[in-house]
Structure 1
Amino acid sequence: MQSTAIKTSPRTADIGDYLKLFACTAVMLQTILNTTLTSIPKPPATIQVGIGMTYNLVKFTAPAFIFGILYTTLRTTAHPTPTYHQYLTTQWHALFVPTIWWTSIYLLVMPWVQQVTRYHSIGGFLWQFINGNAAPHLWYNTMMLQFIILMPLFWWLSRWCDTNTYRGFIVLLITTILYFGWLLLYDILVFHGPFMNTWYLLDRFFFSFIIYGVGGTLAWQYQHFLDKFGQRWWLLILVIAVASYYWINTELFQFTRPVSLTNAIYYKPSMAIYDIAIILLIATLGTYQLNRHLPVTRLVHYLATFAYKAFLSNVFWQQLLWLSFGKQLTAQHDVLGIITVYVGTWLLSFASAMTLHFLWRQMS
């Protein structure tokens, strides 16, 4: 396995762009599916099963985001590595400022989208602000920003693996053992366990997704190995993805009706295997297109630039569409309603991200 950590232009596409764009596109559907399932009174069994299976199908978003963010960040900052102050200054404007604005909008303009509880004081407002409960999707954000803050750890890991290529295998092996041990503990103690209600914030603790951060780091460090592996074994990876998808659906429908999407969690071996397989398939698709310099790669890179900001805004637009016509349409024509709200949410989320970006550039 050869190490290939070379500096490339941030203006070019990479598999991190593919992962971020796929993740952003898929995560928008998750909220709509959950809203539909909880809003329709006594949904038929076929609707529950269809929503559950579709939800599981796109349940790779947080791992793909983390993997893609680490890959692209390492690609654009590993050589030369900026100072931590320079790095945080860049990330503050790119990630933290949009997070502050959109979290404030959700808490002040759409307080009904809060999760777990609602704030009734300044202290409660601040707690909801930082813990990811301000909107259904912001727990992702709380977790992802931890990886951004901890980036020096992954710079160090990248450099350490570069000195001896076999260290990458050692790191991957140890991370896998620790991670699946963590999943076992989570299953026993938290998921329907004795600490289900008190330790739920573990789902946004960075270690709960550490295998994807380490995976993104190693994928960049040994990108040629990953490229060859995907091109050679993509069919086997696809079989694993299909088998694990069947596994996670079997687990979900073992619970009593009505179907609850809270039982479709990331923190179990079946879902981790499925997520890793989907990440590898997306990376293989990206590699195939990048190696052939297809025009679509420029579009992917352009859209991936706005993926994070589109992700932040998507629940805002989804709520506007849902409350204006989506709920009524979905109650009458479930599939049509879901698709219409989903497509509208995607278009408005990316359009707003692009518009705000260009307005900010004009003002600055």
Structure 2
Amino acid sequence: MEKFSHSSDTDIGDYLKLFACTAVMLQTVLAFALKLTVSETSQIFIGIIYNLIKFTAPAFIFGILYTTTRKTILTGRYQPYLKQQWHSLFVPTIWWTMIYLLITPDLQQVHHYDDLKTFLWQFVNGNAAPHLWYNTMMLQFILLMPLFWLIGRWCATSTKRGLLVASITAIVYLAWIIFYDQEVFHGPQMVHWYLLDRFFLSFLAYGIFGTLAWQYRQAVNRFFRTWWPIGCLIFLGSFYWINNELFQFGFPIMLTNAPYYKPTMVLYDLTVISLIAALAITQLDHRSPVNRVVHLLAVFAYKAFLSNAFWTELLWLAGGKQLVLHHLWLGIATLYLGTWLLSFASAFAIHFVWQKLSVTIPNFAGN
């Protein structure tokens, strides 16, 4: 019997989304700081911190699929679901992508647009800003939600089916990661196939595991409650492993040498997800007041994530660069705090203004 009721709005997915959103903003700030000439010692610490928070995309996907499965698996209908996601996810993505391309074009990745064709290509491929590759990947999961409903419903009738799906997923995903590691990451197709990092298959396991985690929540939550100390040991071992791999590339430290698509990083990410889930379960078990705060912030996490590179860029140009140059860690902390506050504040403000307009405009037109 579960100690907490899932009739509450807050769930494990909310904790994962909030942790992921909060951490990914620091990734952006660290990448900005590393643009400057910093000592090798500082580069090492930046690399270690970057690896520490290199769980964001998997955690977000796991959390989104967990929460979406909880809310829609029994009554989900694709057209109403897609309409809702269009307004809550696709429209903000379109607007912020336009802002990045027109107002902060220097943030583009790989290539810069020079005509309408390349503008549109940058718009859809996730290269409009350093973090928008994730949107290109995540929105594929939204479009493919019927597949996860199908998997969840099929597994719900039998534990053996769930174990079968989890096993096949693990084998296929490991094969995919090994393929990517050998062929794309510093492999022969590094330049030509780089867009595979935003192909949904590169994060499919986290989506399926998120779906199964809800469907078998009693057993899964019991496992998280019981085995979290072992998870801490695996965390320490895998964290050492991924840092060792990063530093083998030497100096200067390149954050691109710490991708999600390595067997070691997959182990690390799954371990971090399990530990965040264990923390969430504990908070939910004790009906902690913080649950409501987590849920509120998680609702706005995606919109805050969309804007974070924009605010970091503005803060960087408004004096953040000089602060980081003269006081590295104070500058990083200030940029990070400012980015987090502005990202969530803008998400809340835009939502509030839009709610007001959506009521005022129809009334005005009616009059």
Q: Normalising to structure 1: TM-score of the pair? A: 0.96
Detail structure 1 runs of 4+ shifted over 4 Å in the superposition.
none
- SS at 1:32's partner residue? helix
Is 1:279 the counterpart of 2:276 in the alignment?
no
Structure 2: distance between partners of 1:251 and 1:297: 37
**Residues 69-80 of structure 1: pairs in structure 2 closer than 5 A:** 69-80=64-75
Is 1:27 the counterpart of 2:27 in the alignment?
no
**Residues 310-325 of structure 1: pairs in structure 2 closer than 5 A:** 310-325=304-319
Partner of residue 241 from structure 1, selected from 230, 235, 243: 235
Shift of 1:256: 2.2
Tell me the equivalent position of 1:48.
43
Structure 1: distance between partners of 2:294 and 2:6: 17
**Residues 1-364 of structure 1: pairs in structure 2 closer than 5 A:** 9=7, 12-38=9-35, 40-41=36-37, 43-81=38-76, 83-364=77-358
Shift of 1:145: 0.4
In structure 2, the gaps of 5 or more residues are 359-367
Structure 2: distance between partners of 1:128 and 1:349: 23
Structure 2: distance between partners of 1:109 and 1:156: 42
- SS at 1:160's partner residue? helix
1:71 maps to amino acid: Y
- SS at 2:277's partner residue? helix
Render the CA deviation track for 1:202-231: whole Å, top value 9, x for unaligned. Answer: 000000011100110000101111111011
Shift of 1:291: 1.0
Percent same amino acid among aligned pairs? 61
Shift of 1:8: 5.2
Equivalent pair of 1:8/1:76 in contact (CA under 8 Å) = no
Structure 2: distance between partners of 1:216 and 1:270: 20
- SS at 2:30's partner residue? helix
Structure 1: distance between partners of 2:258 and 2:116: 33
Shift of 1:165: 1.5
Shift of 1:348: 0.5
- SS at 2:174's partner residue? helix
Render the CA deviation track for 1:336-357: whole Å, top value 9, x for unaligned. Answer: 0000000000000000000111
Structure 2: distance between partners of 1:307 and 1:224: 27
- SS at 1:136's partner residue? coil
In structure 1, the gaps of 5 or more residues are none
Shift of 1:138: 0.2
Structure 1: distance between partners of 2:208 and 2:236: 24
Render the CA deviation track for 1:170-206: whole Å, top value 9, x for unaligned. Answer: 1111111111111111111111111000000000000
